[in-house]
Amino acid sequence: MSEFDAIIVGGGLAGSTAAYVLAQQGLEVLLIERGNYGGSKNMTGGRLYAHSLEKIIPNFAEEAPVERRVVKERISMMTENDAFTIDYHSPRLAQAGSDSYVVMRGEFDRWLFDKAEEAGAMTAAGIKVDELIVENNRVTGVICGDEEMRADVVILADGVNSLLAEKAGLRKRVQPSQVAVGVKEVYGLPAKVIEDRFGLTGNEGTAWLFAGSPSNGLVGGGFLYTNKESISLGLVLGLEHIGESEKTIEEMMVAFSNHPEIAPLIKDAKLLERSGHVVPEAGLSMVSTLYGDGYLICGDAAGFCLNIGYMVRGMDLAIASGEMAAKAVIAAKEKGDFSSATLQSYKTMLDESFIMKDLAVYKNFPSFMENPRIFNQYPAMVSEIMAEMFIVNGSPAVPLRKKAMKHLKTVGLMNLLKDGFKGVKSV
Amino acid sequence: MTMSVEEKLGVNKFFVNEGKPHIEIDPNYPDMKEKLKLVKACPGGLYKLNENGTLSFDYAGCLECGTCRILCLGTVVKKWEYPESTMGVEYRYG
Ligand SMILES: Cc1cc2nc3c(=O)[nH]c(=O)nc-3n(C[C@H](O)[C@H](O)[C@H](O)COP(=O)(O)OP(=O)(O)OC[C@H]3O[C@@H](n4cnc5c(N)ncnc54)[C@H](O)[C@@H]3O)c2cc1C
Ligand code: SF4
């Protein structure tokens, strides 16, 4: 007899969602988190697309500690001193069903973790799981220090560095080519100052991504999200070629925060926190084992993350996969069978959901992004064309078509066509 | 407003497990390329190259991101575990 129907490892969004859904159905669950509270080890860029949590906890944004609702999207191409920005502002971004919120995980995950506890889950924060118990090729529990705990099923929601899955041979070690490192700084400012600097009112927020000089030639870019009383600023940098970069991550972060586009936005702000985290980036090709006898894997631990350049999505996938893992466990409990044959329903649900469908749609995107022109030559080209358009200094005017052509030729018209075609095909 | 990376880490909340490093490295690892990956990529700036080409490393400011493990476990990085229960970084914002 197991002590629990399910043990869930990891009190991030995937794990707390799974625990919440299971506890609501009256199952005996234990949610274990190594940090002192849910979210204490977690970091994200910023934006949670609401749809998946909305289905589980309707109107969650009214009670959860969310920062701002995004109504303004910005994308900039940057060179060392220039920035070319696309700005899209629309109430449609905030409509129920397609709304998204900037969140900070220390607060947000803590809330969800506590919701799982309120729903009846037993929670254990400040406890690290050291190992999975595997007997006759079946996961039967977890080991924490010198304590063993058993359950009919273990849900692994322990994030991108799932040491547990790796140790138990359920998953291969993550490769540098599959991930990026994220670094983030949170700058405190009064709400009024943020609203003025970004042209926002009330709880409106901005989501802003940057391509070009911020990643200093590496696959990646910068991000900025407005919180209620702070700004999250950071970089995401592919690890594959990071050893060859001439700058360290700190040097890139300093250059980014001192960029003429950014510096005035964080002027007089106080640094509140510096964080780091790895982002799974390889999309579908990094999704590995998802279930087996006595276990399920969800969230980042399963590789469910989409980075498609102008947006990063991992949190809505973590929540939805946590919910599906819980539903598969509920079905298994009804049958009284926790073998891989029954838990396979998890994979079926994933396949039918936006998770696998979206991962499939964008499956060629990670390789498209490896093209160095995207991060170097295109931002430079755009900035040169803009300079030609807007700079008037008394020298005789050249027709715009000619001005632009000169810069398009630098990159190569064939390259431009090829990349344009590949880009369109991959999204 | 220029803060060093150490000063930046100084605003974070850490529970340091004194004398019990969760990461161990080989500071004399011969391949410079491997060492440079860590110097470039650690978001805490915790790996530093000494003048004599060896690495110095301080686990106390570790953000537990796992980057050094992904890049160099088995070469420069000899051991990488999460800190013991309740120890390590604690994000108040995240
Ligand atoms: C810089 C950056 C920017 C991002 N931007 C966005 C964005 O804007 N929008 C978006 O949707 N996604 C974004 N993502 C991705 C998103 O943050 C992740 O996909 C999401 O956090 C995954 O949640 P999770 O619950 O699966 O894992 P995690 O949040 O990593 O949770 C794993 C949990 O398991 C715990 N744990 C691990 N091992 C153990 C153990 N042995 N014992 C006990 N507990 C353990 C950890 O402490 C942690 O609480 C970003 C990521 C980064 C790094
Ligand atoms: S885990 Fe991350 S922060 Fe810690 S030492 Fe390694 S690279 Fe640096």
DSSP letters, A53-113, are HHHHSTTHHHHS----EEEEEEEEEE-SS-EEEEEEE-GGGGSTTS-EEE--HHHHHHHHH
- With CB atoms and an 8 Å threshold, state whether A274 touches B39: no
Whether domain B5-90 has CATH 3.20.20.70 = no
Q: Return the structure tokens found at A384.
A: 């040169």
DSSP tag of A155: E
Strand partners for A184: A234, A275
- Residues 13-32 in B contacting A (C-alpha not used; CB under 8 Å): none
Task: Kindly state whether B50 is in contact with chain A, defined as any CB-CB distance less than 8 angstroms.
Answer: no
CATH number, span A178-280:
3.30.9.90
DSSP tag of B83: P
- Beta-strand (E) ranges in A159-266? 179-188, 204-212, 220-226, 230-238
The phi-psi region of residue A120 (left if phi > 0; otherwise alpha if psi is between -120 and 50; otherwise beta) is: left
Chain B residues with CB under 8 Å of A230 CB are: 93
Owner of token pair 């982002």: A279
Question: How confident is residue A403, by pLDDT bands cut at 50, 70 and 90?
Answer: confident
* Among the partner residues B9, B39, B66, nearest to A248 by beta-carbon distance: B39
Query: Considering only CA atoms, which residue is closest to atom 21 of ligand 1?
Result: A315
- With CB atoms and an 8 Å threshold, state whether A42 touches B94: yes
Strand partners for A208: A74, A224
Query: Considering only CA atoms, which residue is closest to atom 10 of ligand 1?
Result: A313
CA distance B69 to chain A (A): 9
* Among the partner residues B8, B71, B86, nearest to A176 by beta-carbon distance: B71
Question: How confident is residue A317, by pLDDT bands cut at 50, 70 and 90?
Answer: very high
Its pTM stands at 0.95
Q: Which has the minimum average pLDDT: A133-142, A191-200, A374-383?
A: A374-383
Task: Kindly state whether A230 is in contact with chain B, defined as any CB-CB distance less than 8 angstroms.
Answer: yes
- Residue B1, pLDDT > 60, answer no
The domains of chain A are located at 2-67+100-174+285-366, 178-280, 371-426
Note the ligand closest to the C-alpha atom of A16: 1
- Residue A1, pLDDT > 60, answer no
Query: Considering only CA atoms, which residue is closest to atom 4 of ligand 1?
Result: A45
Question: How confident is residue A333, by pLDDT bands cut at 50, 70 and 90?
Answer: very high
Helix (H, G, I), strand (E, B) or coil at B1: coil
What pLDDT sits at residue A413?
Answer: 74
CA distance A250 to chain B (A): 7
CATH class of A2-67+100-174+285-366: alpha beta
